[in-house]
Structure 1
């Protein structure tokens, strides 16, 4: 199911608990939410055959590169594919950040199943330095400037 690109920004005082998750990325390593505590984290739920996911991949990679010097991390959550397909997608679209392979148990999707559940594909979430969801885009990131502003705003909270 694809979203309409609607977005939600959650004020710091209204954010829920930090989201705890773990999963195996394409290389076979395990990553956890603890690996990203203290950083702003952008989480993108996607799969290789999803047309809007293919459209937004270059923009997400450009933002990942832009914000890397600021300590912002990007993490994909592939909801449908196994490692070879995910790696082929990353190579085709130049995506350098890792993706958790969530197809087998859906545990990462379940971890985010609260007030900002990733019900559409793609869904992009911005987590604050405490691991709480600060913003959500449901569907295609059609305007990278919106996601850029979300990331900038969450970065500014730490200053």
Structure 2
């Protein structure tokens, strides 16, 4: 009986690996899905208009503590996500590609998972080949620290931090790769 149950439980995970991802196909339609689909709008903040550095602390799914002091001195990309979020599934491969592209330049990527248990989050990361770390934020501590920039229901949201830890840009909804690449390049080109 357990073997049969294991086979049934693995079907949804394997479905994400195929060319057709039924959850990702729903990315533009949030009707009854318990999230607000972002419109892809981008907010850029000029260096002289950026507020104080953001402050948060949390724990990576690996169990290691992390906070804003661990990101200090490098640009960072924070992505708010969860596994059943259709737009999150669409943007996951692009975020991973951008992470690989910018990691050699010191840009840090950090996922902020707002709903999943460790097992669900790690299954998502394996299925989509995500190699940058994520924190578990089901209690909303990181989200609460970022409420000036991240509407609580708008997942995914992606934030770019400058070298001082200040919000340089925000994307509500799916982060279009060329747009996010430009936003990252902007903070890289700024004086340290």
For 1:71 and 1:56, locate their aligned partners in 2 and report how far apart those are by CA, in whole Å.
Answer: 21
Q: CA deviation at 1:118?
A: 3.8
Structure 2 length normalisation: TM-score? 0.79
Please say which of residues 46-55 and 24-33 is displaced more in the overlay. 24-33
Query: Are residue 117 (structure 1) and residue 145 (structure 2) matched?
Result: no
Q: CA deviation at 1:113?
A: 1.2
Stretches of 4+ aligned residues off by more than 2 angstroms? none
For 1:64 and 1:101, locate their aligned partners in 2 and report how far apart those are by CA, in whole Å.
Answer: 19
- Pairwise CA RMSD: 0.9
Determine the structure 2 residue equivalent to 1:149: 182
Q: What per-residue deviation string (whole Å, max 9, x for no partner) do you get for residues 20-41 of structure 1?
A: 1111111111111100100000
Structure 1 length normalisation: TM-score? 0.95
For 1:79 and 1:118, locate their aligned partners in 2 and report how far apart those are by CA, in whole Å.
Answer: 12
Query: Mapping of 1:1-80 within 5 angstroms?
Result: 1-80=36-115
Determine the structure 2 residue equivalent to 1:138: 172
For 2:151 and 2:161, locate their aligned partners in 1 and report how far apart those are by CA, in whole Å.
Answer: 13
Structure 2 unpaired stretches of 5+ = 1-35
For 1:55 and 1:43, locate their aligned partners in 2 and report how far apart those are by CA, in whole Å.
Answer: 17
Structure with the higher fraction of residues in strand conformation: 1
Aligned residues: 156
